[in-house]
Homo-oligomer: A and B are copies of this chain.
Amino acid sequence: MTANPQIPDPAGLLARPALAVQVADVLRGLILEGELKGGEKIRERELTERFGVSRTPLREAMKILASEGLIDLIPNRGAVVARRSDAELADAFPVLAALEGIAGRQAAERASDAEIAEIARLTGALRDAVGAGDRPLYFEINQKIHAAILAASRNEMLARTHATVAGQIHRARYQANLTRSRWEKALAEHERIAEALAARDGAALGTLLHDHMMAKLTAILEARRSGAAG
The stretch of A34-42, A111-119, A141-149, A189-197 that contacts the partner chain = A34-42
Interface string of A150-164 (1 = CB under 8 A from B): 000001111011001
The yes or no answer to A106 lying at the interface (CB within 8 A) is yes
| Residues 43-62 of A contacting B (Cβ, < 8 Å) | 56, 59-61
The yes or no answer to A124 lying at the interface (CB within 8 A) is no
Chain B residues whose C-beta falls within 8 Å of the C-beta of A77 in the assembled complex: 7, 10, 15
A54 CB to closest chain B CB (Å) equals 12
Measured in the bound complex, the distance between the Cα atoms of B223 and A222 in whole Å is: 49
The yes or no answer to A68 lying at the interface (CB within 8 A) is yes
A6 CB to closest chain B CB (Å) equals 5
Looking at A6, A12, A76, A95, the one whose CB has the most chain B CB atoms below 10 A away is A95
Q: Contact check: which of B10, B15, B41, B168 meets A157 at CB < 8 Å?
A: B168
- Beyond A68-B67, A77-B7, whether A99 also contacts B106 by CB under 8 A is no
A86 CB to closest chain B CB (Å) equals 13
- Give the number of copies in the complex: 2
A122 CB to closest chain B CB (Å) equals 25
The stretch of A16-24, A131-139, A176-184 that contacts the partner chain = A16-24
Chain B residues whose C-beta falls within 8 Å of the C-beta of A76 in the assembled complex: 15
Looking at A15, A61, A161, the one whose CB has the most chain B CB atoms below 10 A away is A161
Measured in the bound complex, the distance between the Cα atoms of B171 and A192 in whole Å is: 40
Measured in the bound complex, the distance between the Cα atoms of B72 and A160 in whole Å is: 14
Measured in the bound complex, the distance between the Cα atoms of B160 and A227 in whole Å is: 30
Chain B, Cβ-Cβ closest to A7: B80
Measured in the bound complex, the distance between the Cα atoms of B15 and A77 in whole Å is: 10
Q: Contact check: which of B6, B75, B158 meets A16 at CB < 8 Å?
A: B75
A95-B155 in contact (CB<8A): yes
Residues of chain A having any CB pair with chain B under 8 Å: 4-7, 10, 12, 15-18, 20-21, 37, 39-41, 56, 59-61, 63-64, 66-69, 72-78, 80, 88, 91-92, 94-95, 98-99, 101-102, 105-106, 155-158, 160-161, 164-165, 168
Known pairs A15-B74, A91-B158, A95-B161 / 11 extra A-B pairs, C-beta < 8 Å: A4-B37, A10-B72, A10-B77, A15-B75, A63-B64, A64-B67, A67-B68, A69-B160, A94-B155, A94-B158, A161-B161
